[in-house]
Structure 1
Amino acid sequence: MSHSFHVHSHQQHLKWSSTISPIHTVPSGSIVSFDLRDGGNNQITPQSASSPSSALSSFDLTQADPAMGPVYVSGAEPGDVLKVEFLELTPADYGWTAILPGFGLLSDEFPEPQLKLWDLSNLSASSSSPRKATFKKGIEVPIKPFLGVVGVAPPPTMGPLSTIPPYPMVGGNMDCRTATKVGCTLYLPVNVPGALFSCGDGHAAQGDGEVCGTAIETPVKATVRLTVEKAHVRATKGYRLNCPHYTTPEPSREEVESEVQERAKGEYAALGIHENIREASRMAVRGVIDWLVAERGLTREEAYMLTSVCAGLTMAEVVDMPNYAISCSIPLSIFTDSN
């Protein structure tokens, strides 16, 4: 795909701020390519497999979730909307998932570090069959690339902000697997002239919630189109953006067939119920982990990471106070054995 502007992996920042100088100034409608570092800032590599404990003990969380950019989009003014179309996402030939002490939904229950390296070298983007990576013998995880970090600079009165949390007026580290895959269009509120767009945190696959704190983290080559939508376009319809919005593409025939096959095999789910949404989520995730250990023979650490990589986490019920109901489900299609 042809493009005129490229952002290199060293052109990064760890704060959202209106004071960061742009890498490029591009016209509205421009296609921009990026070499993106992974969410760990490339601190984990295939060579980490030789000494995983050393790689994790030296892991610096303050360097996590770097954003590559920013890009100044001409014509973007506060009140406008930046339309981001995701055209190409190509993962590297490796990925990793880790349990990092003190990080994750169940961090108090998993104090020991754990690292899983994934081989993504045999994945062909042109293949019509679903791409999968091996978690361990008998478990194959579908590869569905997307970007975890996509955002714009905050208003000058709000910066600088860490790139680790998401923010309503920025976007940022949203980790929303349905918003930033190829074919999706993301709409972000513009807070400063030029919008100052950046992205990063490539994922080869992730479950809802990214519950252990990591997905299949991987460097990604990304290509996006950046277009300014002027404020009056939505104002004439009576609303404006105060948080990210997005649309998803119509699935291809191959995607529909693959989803039908996956759904035909069903899923196993646990329903967490608690007056606190976070605790309900913890209960649901814990239930799936217990099942994976008891019925599928995984260690608790393996089960936690697998849930982070491919589980669905859904707010099943939020109106009957005082309790919330959160569902955590694991697709049975990932299991290739007969158990």
Structure 2
Amino acid sequence: MSIHSVRREQCHLAWDNSIAPVVRIQSGQTVDFDCLDASNGQLEPNSTTATLDSLVFSQLDQVNGPVYVEGAQPGDTLQVDVLSIKTGGWGWSALIPGFGLLADEFPEPALKLWKLDQAGGFAWFDQAKGIKIPLRPFAGEMGVARGVKGAFSTIPPYNTGGNVDTKHLTVDSTLFLPIEVEGALFSIGDGHAAQGDGEVCGTAIETPMKVTVRLTVRKDRPYTKTPHFSTSVSDKDEQYYCTTGVEPGMYLDYVTHWTSSDTSRPCELDMRKAAQSAVRQMIDFLCAEHKLHRTEAYMLCSVAGDLRLHEVVDMPNYVVGMMMPQSIFGHAS
């Protein structure tokens, strides 16, 4: 057990670098977090769909922390090693009016409660129909404070992390976050027992969680400008390195005029900016770590990298990842 811990009541509802840290640690030390679910305890195992009507939305998606890491300075990278995650014995998923990729098509609230079989590692979606969901728990929110002053909602993701809702950040994965303030001020929350890439309806299997992470300051990764991570969750026989693009969606109207602010005209969302950013981040990584020229790195992204839609519902920002299999490197000629 870690000597450092953050209790479930030690939480906050905005990314704000003026929030005082609840604990200070040395680089390389571990921290245990006890986190409520994303409803901040407003939903319980006996809740009903009617409970959704009384949700206080300003209390959703709290994060626990912040943790001050000694030696962390702007321009450094915070390495977050996910060591253990234990979910609660229950979870919930919901259709919340106004949330989700198809919010206009599903305007009515709906709530599904789950019983999580932690020993078996699954939850029944519909036992009668034989639909069973494997549990792959992760924290939807992991981030550090932004360098700009002010309070920023925990709902969208940022280049400093936050609500990245990326299902690949399970136990044994490593997240890298760009540090913008002294001490990094790391926080975590939004426990998920399982989620598909994109979290299209706006919720996963939301659950309380206890999670342990190791936080290490890295001085040797100046190319980390958005969340990067290393994981094997997609394929247990393959390790992947992933860069992300965290950008607002743009709007394309019927006369092909691009704008990121005027949403009054007929339009469709375009996540090209986030995809472009993810590829640029991977190019920078390949040039720095594998000594490739930019043209070589760009070509390698096309023949070996996979673009993934990690998070597409937390307006206004979206997370697109480029995942590169690590088995292609290190072969003798």
TM-score for both structures, normalised by structure 1: 0.69
Q: 2:175 maps to which residue?
A: 186
Where is the strand percentage greater, Structure 1 or Structure 2? 2
Q: 1:160 maps to which residue?
A: 151
- Alpha carbons of structure 1 residues 142 and 33: separation in structure 2 relative to 1, 3 Å: same
Q: 2:33 maps to which residue?
A: 34
Distance 2:218 2:198 in 1: 30
Structure 1 residue 314: Cα displacement = 4.9
Aligned-residue Cα RMSD (Å) equals 2.5
Could you tell me the percent identity over the aligned residues? Answer: 49
Matches within 5 A, 1:5-16: 5-16=4-15
Distance 1:5 1:152 in 2: 18
Matches within 5 A, 1:220-299: 220-230=209-219, 233-234=220-221, 239-249=222-232, 278=269
Letter in 2 for 1:177: K
Matched, 1:142 2:137: no
Letter in 2 for 1:204: A
Distance 1:244 1:159 in 2: 21
Distance 1:109 1:61 in 2: 21
Distance 1:17 1:89 in 2: 26
CA offsets per residue over residues 208-234 of structure 1, 9 Å max, x none? 11111100000000000001112xx23
Match of 1:123 among 94, 118, 135: 118
Q: SS in structure 2 opposite 1:201? A: strand
Q: 1:215 maps to which residue?
A: 204
Q: 2:242 maps to which residue?
A: none
Unpaired runs of 5+ residues, structure 1, are 257-273, 281-312, 316-339
Distance 1:158 1:198 in 2: 17
- Alpha carbons of structure 1 residues 158 and 277: separation in structure 2 relative to 1, 3 Å: farther
- Alpha carbons of structure 1 residues 153 and 314: separation in structure 2 relative to 1, 3 Å: closer
Structure 1 residue 54: Cα displacement = 2.4
Distance 2:111 2:33 in 1: 27
Matched, 1:101 2:90: no
Q: 1:293 maps to which residue?
A: none
Distance 2:57 2:111 in 1: 15
Structure 1 residue 62: Cα displacement = 1.6
Structure 1 residue 240: Cα displacement = 2.2
Q: SS in structure 2 opposite 1:212? A: coil
- Alpha carbons of structure 1 residues 204 and 62: separation in structure 2 relative to 1, 3 Å: same
Q: SS in structure 2 opposite 1:57? A: helix
Distance 1:76 1:226 in 2: 10
Where is the helix percentage greater, Structure 1 or Structure 2? 1
Unpaired runs of 5+ residues, structure 2, are 238-253, 257-266, 272-306, 310-333
Distance 1:143 1:78 in 2: 36
Q: 1:82 maps to which residue?
A: 78
Number of matched residues? 248
TM-score for both structures, normalised by structure 2: 0.70
Distance 2:82 2:203 in 1: 22
CA offsets per residue over residues 162-212 of structure 1, 9 Å max, x none? 0000001x200000111x210000000111110000000000000111111
Matched, 1:18 2:11: no
Matches within 5 A, 1:304-323: 314=308
